[in-house]
Amino acid sequence: MHPDHLPEDCRPISNLLSRIGDKWTILVMRVLEQGEPIRFKELHRAIGGISQRMLTVTLRHLERDGLVIRTVYPTIPPRVEYELSERGLGLQQAMVPLFEWTKDNARDIYQSQIAFDLAKDKAVT
Amino acid sequence: MHPDHLPEDCRPISNLLSRIGDKWTILVMRVLEQGEPIRFKELHRAIGGISQRMLTVTLRHLERDGLVIRTVYPTIPPRVEYELSERGLGLQQAMVPLFEWTKDNARDIYQSQIAFDLAKDKAVT
DNA sequence: CCGCATCCTACGTGATACTG
DNA sequence: CAGTATCACGTAGGATGCGG
């Protein structure tokens, strides 16, 4: 059922992108990029529009992949801090060209989409 | 509802990654990367496990973003060829570091996941 | 041969309320 | 403060059959 007979490089990349390509991961990593450990609540505020649940889920994924480090201080009230790991930092750096490309092409892509949708509508008419 | 008050760079990047980060886009682009125009059926065979529908959807998205070029030869039977556009090629190149990073870190990430899941199970016990 | 339309299922996402 | 549990919803994805 899965593309097992593809060049081996493709699936891991596709899998990785599927995970970091979700709705929030990039946003979270970008906030974490500052280097400073940051608390859950701060993250929640820094990232607009994310629910508590999705922030938790996203952080768990990142932690599971060893991309962020989670530190718990068993105080009362509890205090939990998140920071990018070495690996996470490396991923950030690997994504820089993609960031650049996106910035350079976002407008053109948007134009293409408009044009495409327009042609579509005209075809219907 | 959306993270509108984030640094402007983040959302477009997140959006782009969401689209190219889906299950098939990377795989399709990788096959297209060869440079040769390629027919639908060939693509379908080259990419194992993809349904006809998802291949169509994926190609439409890529076409809409101006990343692939779709050429129709109105012969009988019909002949449709796909190839990477300039823009698509640029995206490919921008992703090279990410590909490299993934190749270098895939194993470590996998290990982290195992360890994480194990710790989880132990916690339950 | 190409790929669109339909139906259906699974999962990601979000809102809310509750626990340590 | 941090995180879990529950429910509800929308979209992605897969299977199948039809049309150009």
- Residue B77 C-alpha, separation from nearest chain A C-alpha, in angstroms: 22
Q: pLDDT digits over A26-55, tens only? A: 999 989 998 899 999 999 999 988 999 999
For B109, residues 6+ apart whose C-beta sits below 8 A from its C-beta are A16, A65, A66, A87
Q: pLDDT digits over B82-108, tens only? A: 999 999 999 999 999 998 999 899 999
List the beta bridge partners of residue A79: A73
pLDDT score of A34: 85
Q: Which CATH number is A7-124 given?
A: 1.10.10.10
pLDDT at A1 over 50: no
DSSP letters for B27-71:
HHHHHHTT-S-EEHHHHHHHSTT--HHHHHHHHHHHHHTTSEEEE
Higher pLDDT, A91 or B33: A91
A24 token code pair = 């929030």
pLDDT at A119 over 90: no
pLDDT above 70 as % of chain A: 89
The separation between CA A13 and the C-alpha centre of its own chain, rounded to angstroms, equals 14
State how far the Cα of B104 lies from the Cα of B98, in Å rounded to an integer: 10
DSSP letters for A75-118:
-SS-EEEEEE-HHHHHHHHHHHHHHHHHHHHHHHHHHHHHHHHH
The separation between CA B111 and the C-alpha centre of its own chain, rounded to angstroms, equals 24
* Shortest-distance nucleotide from B55 CA to C1': C3
Q: Enumerate helices (H) and strands (E) in chain A, giving the number of each.
A: 5, 3
Enumerate residues near strand C (beta carbon within 7 A).
Answer: A 22-24, 49-54, 57, 77-78; B 1, 39-41, 52-53, 56, 59-60, 70, 72, 77-80
pLDDT at B40 over 70: yes
pLDDT score of A122: 65
Q: How confident is residue B121, by pLDDT bands cut at 50, 70 and 90?
A: confident
List the beta bridge partners of residue A69: A83
pLDDT score of B7: 58
Q: How confident is residue A3, by pLDDT bands cut at 50, 70 and 90?
A: very low
For A99, residues 6+ apart whose C-beta sits below 8 A from its C-beta are B9, B13
Domain locations in chain B? 7-124
State how far the Cα of B80 lies from the Cα of B58, in Å rounded to an integer: 15
pLDDT at A16 over 90: no
In the sheet that holds B79-84, the strands lie side by side as: B38-39, B79-84, B68-73
pLDDT at B124 over 90: no
pLDDT at A20 over 90: no
Rounded to an integer, the average pLDDT of B118-122 is: 80
Of the candidates B3, B24, B112, which has its C-beta nearest A27's C-beta?
B3
pLDDT at B75 over 90: no
Residues A3/B47, Cβ–Cβ less than 8 Å: yes
pLDDT at B2 over 60: no
Contacts with A100 from chain B: Cβ below 8 Å: 94
Q: pLDDT digits over A64-107, tens only? A: 999 999 999 999 899 999 999 999 999 999 999 998 999 899 99
pLDDT above 70 as % of chain B: 90
| Threshold 0.85, pTM exceeds | yes
pLDDT score of B10: 72
For B54, residues 6+ apart whose C-beta sits below 8 A from its C-beta are B23, B24
